[in-house]
Amino acid sequence: MNGFIVKSGKFALVGALALALSACGSGGKKSEESSPAASGSASSPSASAADAAAYKPEKPFTIVAPSGAGGGWDKTARSIAKVLGETKLVDQPITVENKPGGGGVVFLASYVNEDAGNDYKLFVSSPPILVNNLKKEGNSPFGYKDVTPLAGLTEDFGAIAVAADSKYKDLKSLLDDLKADPSKITIAGGSAPGSMDHIIAILPAYKYGIDPKKVKYLSYDGGGEALTALLGGNAQAIGTDISSLGEYLKAGKIRVLAVSAPERLGGDFKDVPTMKEQGVDAEFLIWRGIFGPKDMSAEAKAYWEEKLKALSENDVWKQELAANAWAGSYKNAADFTAYLGDQEKLVKDTLTALGMAK
């Protein structure tokens, strides 16, 4: 892979990063090297039924979405809390807290330090927990090995959208203007440069023969803030996850030009063409999972493995997946941890080739 990257020039480098992150949503080969036992992680990859039965929660839980309201992390956290409560899988109340900052970087230190061992604190994350720990600018000193992976739950897709009154009716018309004069078009996103929304924003441009370094990308803390910028006229387009866009599409506030899925989605997005349908050879998948803090107890980890597996099999959860245009992709703690290890290696190799690795 590295040999191909070096020989293929700067466009291939950005494309390879996109492929690395999209691979985070397409499954992963497990290896002994990436398991907690081999890497030295303090979190055990398996949990017993006895441990789960021994854990009796005594107070409410908190799930942190490391972004503002309205983005994919926020929607994932709220969907998990909603379904666990409605189905009575969890008896204690669950509160969702938004903690934006640095594309998911700022809050993570608390889960490693002051909240270590707090069995009542969870958080949702996605590929930025890998990227932010590996890149040299805007990086986090902490990654998935410093916390407790509990389960992989969903796959989402990227999308390019514009305001409803935009002159752009399809992806290629936007890309044609971007190719003619990149300085006249700003694309917003809800994550820091080098992270997911940035890759979603520049991937179709790169595939269309546009130098991705010339694309003006405006970053915000979460998809909700980026959408506000789009609707306020501070950007001509947005690159983000499709699950952030549903309510705005239904309200008639935006037009979704393309999705990065391999085929058209259902529901509210059934009429939105894929990038490939429009002659732009691009796909992008986004995994999302749930984590506990560092030093979570074995009993609490076992409890959450049991509850999250039951969640993934519940019809109410499946309805939530369909409503948000997510694909279910359940992985237990051990499989999820191994999966993250494989993806970390892939992302690190690509960031190194890009000159972005720390």
Q: How many CB atoms lie within 10 A of CB 229?
A: 19
Average pLDDT of the residues in 185-201: 86
By C-alpha distance, which of 131, 122, 127, 128 is closest to 149? 122
pLDDT at 9: 41
For position 32, what pLDDT does the model report?
36
What digits encode the pLDDT tens for the residues 8-46?
A: 344 444 554 554 454 444 443 333 333 333 333 444 444
pLDDT grade, residue 95 (50/70/90)?
very high
Residue 297 has a pLDDT of 95
Is residue 324 very low, low, confident or very high in pLDDT (cuts 50, 70, 90)?
Answer: confident
User: Are both 2-156+285-354 and 158-278 of the same fold?
Assistant: yes
pTM, two decimal places: 0.71
pLDDT reported for residue 162: 98
Confidence band, pLDDT 50/70/90 cuts, at residue 139: confident
Mean pLDDT in the chain?
Answer: 84
**Most confidently modeled of 110-119, 149-158, 168-177, 211-220?**
168-177
**Domain 158-278 indexed as CATH 3.30.565.10:** no
> Are the CB atoms for 185 and 199 separated by under 8 Å?
no
pLDDT attached to residue 195: 76
User: CATH code for 2-156+285-354?
Assistant: 3.40.190.150
Give residue limits of the domains in the chain.
2-156+285-354, 158-278
